[in-house]
Amino acid sequence: MPFVSLNPATNELVKEYPYWDEVQLEEALLEVEIATPMWAGTPLNERCGHVRRLGQLVLQRRDQLAELITLEMGKLIGEARAEVEKCALVCDYYTDNGPAFLADEVIESDAGRSFVAHQPIGTVLAIMPWNFPLWQVFRFLVPALVAGNTGVLKHASNVPRCALAIEAVVRDAGLPNGVFRSLMVSSAQVAGVIADARIHAVTLTGSEPAGRQVAATAGANLKKTVLELGGSDPFIVLEDADLDWAVQQGVKSRFLNAGQSCVAAKRFIVLESVADEFVAKFKAAVEALKPGGPMDSDASLAPMARVDLRDELHQQVLASLARGAIAVTGCAPVEGGGAYYQASILDGVSPGMSAWDEEFFGPVAIVIRAQDEAEAIKIANGSDFGLAGSVWTQDAIRGERVARQVQSGAVFVNGMVKSDPRLPFGGIKNSGYGRELSRHGMLEFVNQKTVWVR
């Protein structure tokens, strides 16, 4: 079966790409193998210069790249442009800060001089999803390149044109041949790539089952991994929250990218004393969202990336309704072509329902009512996931206290969860391990070598 590029707004075929055979894969890996020591030996300031030019070229091609994202996975064109701009931003961030992050760390010991040197480890394999088809790649690739590593990409099967466009912009920016390649291989071929001695580490953003498979294969081959998996992020609304602000940000957090984000607000845990008011305001705001063609500047709700994903989401909704959840609004596919699903709210969600136990990866908000702050925290921590979450209160001290008790890799108080190059990003529990972005993410894929000198 080939890579298939479909337009989610119409479900029409754009283009198919055959999977590589073993000869094509070997040619690409050999090219990367040759480039790896050369790139590691390139002075850091020269590597930074290359990456800065990459960011500049990405900005020059913003509209072209954004249109490609929109065509292949259905993102609203404004959101797609913002994604491309963020890729350029991460290039600037690491060229500005990478040299300080990679500087030797002097540590006092019984030596005349002792320090930790941060050196490249080799080639990083990235297995990336379709929901942010450029950003997910750039947030691994840019710090890896600045650190002196090379990279290879196994992208999602429904965004092959994005995968090839990333390789093209890296090449056209003047980076040496082989420092980055997009591998047009099937999922069945990935285990062999991980096991290949020329691959030194693996990073994956994807589902929990995929993470378990990759971790097992990498572990069997003693390869370092970073896993960013699913999330069921709590959005905790306390009784003293600014409800208008919480609703505004909640709609954006849940329905951005048609709800297809690991760190989207998914479980709206609202204190009972304000729940009716919050749900009424939330319903009005959600019903104002306008499904439309993703190239339409007036549209505010994009299609989902594929029809099969929309249908899986609807089955989760139906299963929850059958167990007693309440459809506040939506909760059905949009009639007509494409992979559209109505902006939806489920209330009355309780244990045993799909909406309580599973990640909903699409435009469905789940409302869970809590009696008090303690119960809200207990519900938030009752998930197997622990990627991120948010707390909404007009008391910042209280918000920070609650945030410290939420079990996740990040908690935002009175703000929508987002990835930021300056802040480490990643989860705990079944949301994975390791960090991306910031200094913490850059150091995941370097050899932190102790040097002791008498």
Q: Which helix (H) or strand (E) holds 369?
A: strand 364-370
- Write out residues in the chain with pLDDT < 70, as ranges: 1
Paired sense of beta strands 410-413 and 364-370, if any: unpaired
Query: Do residues 20 and 185 lie in contact, with contact meaning Cβ atoms separated by under 8 Å?
Result: yes
Would you say the CATH fold of 233-420 matches that of 3-229+431-453?
no
In the structure encoding, which two tokens stand for residue 292, read together?
């439309």
What is the pLDDT, as a whole number, of residue 1?
A: 65
Average pLDDT, the chain: 97
Contacts of 376 (CB under 8 A, 6+ apart): 234, 236, 238, 269, 271, 370, 402
What is the pLDDT, as a whole number, of residue 153?
A: 98
Closest CA to 152 of 177, 178, 172: 178
In the structure encoding, which two tokens stand for residue 397, read together?
């001290």
Q: Which helix (H) or strand (E) holds 146?
A: helix 135-147
Catalytic site residue from 72, 83, 167, 228: 228
Query: Do residues 155 and 138 lie in contact, with contact meaning Cβ atoms separated by under 8 Å?
Result: no
In the structure encoding, which two tokens stand for residue 20, read together?
């590589």
Distances (CA, A) of 417 to 104, 256, 299, 399: 33, 12, 23, 14
Closest CA to 54 of 171, 181, 180, 177: 171
Domain boundaries, the chain: 3-229+431-453, 233-420
Q: Which helix (H) or strand (E) holds 19?
A: none
In angstroms, how far is CA 376 from the centroid of its own chain? 26
What is the pLDDT, as a whole number, of residue 203?
A: 98
Q: How far apart are CA 25 and CA 424, in angstroms?
A: 33
Amino acid, single-letter form, for residue 23? V
Side-chain-side CA neighbours of 77 within 13 Å: the count stands at 14
Q: Is 91 a catalytic residue?
A: no
State the pTM of this model.
0.97
Contacts of 308 (CB under 8 A, 6+ apart): none
3-class DSSP state for residue 128? coil
Q: How far apart are CA 341 and CA 302, in angstroms?
A: 9
Q: Is 48 a catalytic residue?
A: no
In the structure encoding, which two tokens stand for residue 82, read together?
């913002």
Beta strands in 71-223 (DSSP E): 105-106, 113-120, 123-127, 150-154, 180-182, 201-205
Q: How far apart are CA 236 and CA 368, in angstroms?
A: 10
In the structure encoding, which two tokens stand for residue 17, read together?
């790409």
CATH node for 233-420:
3.40.309.10
Q: At what angle do helices 62-73 and 44-60 cross, to 10 degrees?
A: 70
Amino acid, single-letter form, for residue 405? Q
Catalytic site residue from 87, 91, 162, 262: 262
77 CB burial (10 A radius; 0-12, 13-18, 19+): buried
Q: How far apart are CA 3 and CA 350, in angstroms?
A: 39
**CATH architecture classification, 3-229+431-453:** 3-Layer(aba) Sandwich (3.40)
Distances (CA, A) of 184 to 17, 72, 149: 8, 16, 21
Q: pLDDT tens across 257-300, in order?
A: 999 999 999 999 999 999 999 999 999 999 999 999 999 989 99
